[in-house]
Amino acid sequence: MLETIEAAPRDAILGLTAAFREDPRSEKINLSVGVYQDENGKTPTLECVKIAEQRLAEAASVKSYLPIPGAPEYAEVVQQLAFGADHEAVASGRIASAHTPGGTGALRVAGDFINANFPKATLWMSEPTWPNHGNIFAAARVPTKGYAYFDKSSNALAFEPMLEAIKSMPVGDVILLHGCCHNPTGIDPTPDQWKQIADAVYGQGLLPLLDFAYQGFAEGIEEDAAGLRAFCRPEAELMVCSSFSKNFGLYRERVGALSIVCPAADTVPAVQSQVNRVIRSNYSNPPAHGAAIVNCILRDESLRATWEKEVAAMRSRINGTRQQFVNALAAKGVPGDYSFITQQRGMFSFTGLTKEQVETLREKYAIYIVGSGRINVAGLTPANIERVAKAISEVV
């Protein structure tokens, strides 16, 4: 039977990293996958994480199963971080929660939940979006369609077309939005636009699903939750997929969460039971370590302060690098105005490079960029930025 199987296509992002690893050229540069690197090109383990791990190692070790949706204390800190400690939705207990293996795990649980409970719903994704969104919802058998998001000519949000698209979506559908640091464009709505988007989404009778993977990477931990909180209205329904891969640097620990805000606390038990059912038949219950680290940091005043400083340092390096990149492109005489790169937020820059240019960068210069022209700005360092700008000037 196995001999009949054809090879699957390479993953648009992780497949590139696999190819990068196999590339024997010593000068190779990986600007594809969204993993933070410091100015030395290293992905650091955060100081707060090291201390938390030490504390966890010294505490009594328990290796029995976690509950299906994970530990309640973790759910509590996740809700407080995303929605705000004093938020009415948190205080009134109207959020069903699950600790999931990464943000991807949260999206897949959300997809399975939608398929099981709203089998007629279509999920609307921004055009463009993270390539794995399509894979996840196809695997969960949730039909998908696209809505306008990016205006190529102005390198800005296609706000009016987006609103128009929302206003023609059928009642009972689900709309996927990026909570902050839109992947891949780096373009987010303003607070006022978020409000108008939320008005349109609820006015249309849609269920919003927010992918919230970069909290702290745009403007600040609280500031970056503004879009999400624009949806968190009295009695309103909302699903949020959090990831702690980037902001805690816990990529390989696979730690994330799904939060489903219900209209009232008495809706939570049924919703929670359906989430638990989906998880039980998938991975049964979550892996403990990453969530224990996040829980330890967010509950300790001093570790939390260290974490906030470390997130601010990552954010500031990325934002500084954006300006250096624009300067380097100008210095190498790349035609066109690239100042829009400094307006983009989060880890990525959507450069406008074509598929062919991206391919030439990989084949000729050993520079790896995602096919959409998305660059991981956090992969640029003082040692490689000139070379990247020079290569881009040559391919453009």
* Residue 130 or 231 with smaller CB distance to ligand LMR: 130
34 is a contact residue toward ligand LMR (CB under 6 A): yes
Residue of 30, 37, 97, 132 interacting with ligand LMR (CB under 6 A): 132
CA angle, 60 as apex, 56 and 64 as ends, to 5°?
Answer: 95
CB nearer to ligand LMR: pick between 34 and 256? 34
**Of 247 and 306, which CB lies nearer to ligand LMR in the complex structure?**
247
List 36, 124, 130, 147, residue binding ligand LMR (CB under 6 A) = 130
Which of positions 45-84 make contact with ligand LMR (CB under 6 A)? none
For the question of residue 246 being annotated catalytic, the response is yes
Using only C-alpha atoms, what is the Rg of the chain?
21
- The answer to whether residue 13 forms part of the interface with ligand LMR (CB under 6 A) is yes
**Which DSSP letter does residue 31 get?**
-
Burial of 178 (0-12, 13-18, 19+ CB in 10 A): buried
Active-site hit among 112, 173, 188, 211: 211
Q: Does 33 bind ligand LMR (CB under 6 A)?
A: yes
CA torsion sign for 242, 245, 249, 250 is: positive
Q: Where would I find the H helices in 142-189?
A: 159-167
199 is catalytic: no
Question: Considering the complex, what minimum distance in angstroms separates the CB of residue 184 from ligand LMR?
Answer: 7
192 is catalytic: no
130, 173, 194, 224: which is the annotated catalytic residue? 130
DSSP 270-325: HHHHHHHHHHHTTTSS--SHHHHHHHHHHHSHHHHHHHHHHHHHHHHHHHHHHHHH
127-144 per-residue burial string, b: 16 or more CB within 10 A, e: under 16: bbbbbbbeebbeebebeb
- Near ligand LMR by CB under 6 A: residue from 183, 215, 259, 349: 183
Question: Which CB sits closer to ligand LMR, 292 or 369?
Answer: 369
Q: Which residues are catalytic?
A: 130, 211, 246
Binding site residues, ligand LMR, CB under 6 A? 13, 33-34, 130, 132, 183
